Structure 1
Amino acid sequence: MTTSAGHVAATASAAAAIRDEQGRVLIVDPVRKERWNLPGGHVEEGELPSAALRRELREELGLDLEVGDLLVTAWVTRPEGSHVFYVFDGPVLDAEWQRAIRPQESEIGEIRFCRPEDIAPSMIPPFALAIWNRALAAREEKRAAYLELAL
């Protein structure tokens, strides 16, 4: 999208750090992307990031979940343009909630709960690891973080 001044506007997405009772993080394997990611997706024009996240969780996983505090805002500058990532704290899903997950087949190929240290760098986009690690640290520190990454 181009602004009236001719500048390219940044795109945005919102994701959640959802855990199970063992502290493992929910990750999803999007059908249209090569690598795993946190559940969430694109923020539409005029949409609040938290509302976008709730919408995406309903669409992709079939879950209507409360979104917690913002953990990280990350501004990522890439050759194709800038993107803002919002990562929110998600709930802990017990076994009943986990059984209720219904991945949308056209969007999500697979889901998995795993410990952050078990996520291989090759599984996720290169810049995502820094964002995820900062989000998990922000949760522990009870303090939101801001990152700027240039690729």
Structure 2
Amino acid sequence: MLEIAEELGLDVSLGQLLVVDWVPPQPDGRPALVNFVFDGGTITPTQAAGLRLQDSELRAWRLCTWQEADALLGPVWEVHRGSHSLIAAMVTVAS
């Protein structure tokens, strides 16, 4: 939750762990990392209006449909194995 507060200025309670995804070392020298994706609940319009991005970490954010997410993340999903994990997380939350 500390990362969410630091990077987005958002105070939420985390729900269940949805995905654990490992990203291998990158050709540009970035080290391997592990991503943990939790159910953060539904963002209210008030919370969305109050989001503040940490400039050194994030450039932009948006709420989008699954189709928009697929189009936006497509190049990322092609590079690392997380696509199936992220889709499974979205299905889990929607059900």
State the distance in 1 between where 2:54 and 2:37 align.
21
In the superposition, the TM-score normalised over structure 1's length comes to: 0.49
Q: Deviations over 1:92-138 (max 9, x none)?
A: 1111111111111222111111112222212x353232221021123
State the distance in 2 between where 1:61 and 1:86 align.
17
Paired position in structure 1 for 2:87: 133
Q: CA, structure 1 residues 102+134, in 2 after alignment: closer, same or farther (shift >3 Å)?
A: same
Question: What's the secondary structure of 2:51's corresponding residue?
Answer: coil
Paired position in structure 2 for 1:89: 39
CA offset at residue 55 of structure 1?
Answer: 0.8
RMSD: 2.1
For the Cα contact (< 8 Å) 2:25–2:33, is it kept in 1? Answer: no
Query: Which has a greater percent of helix?
Result: 2
Instruction: Indicate which of 91, 99, 102 corresponds to 2:52.
Output: 102
Count of residue pairs the alignment pairs up:
86
Q: Deviations over 1:11-69 (max 9, x none)?
A: xxxxxxxxxxxxxxxxxxxxxxxxxxxxxxxxxxxxxxxxxxx1111111111211111
Question: What's the secondary structure of 2:61's corresponding residue?
Answer: strand
Question: What's the secondary structure of 1:113's corresponding residue?
Answer: coil
Find the structure with the greater CA-based Rg. Answer: 1
The letter of the residue matching 1:133 is I
Q: Identify unmatched segments of 5+ residues in structure 2.
A: none
Q: Identify unmatched segments of 5+ residues in structure 1.
A: 1-53, 142-151
Question: What's the secondary structure of 1:114's corresponding residue?
Answer: coil
Query: Which has a greater percent of strand?
Result: 1
For the Cα contact (< 8 Å) 1:72–1:88, is it kept in 2? Answer: yes
State the distance in 2 between where 1:83 and 1:72 align.
14
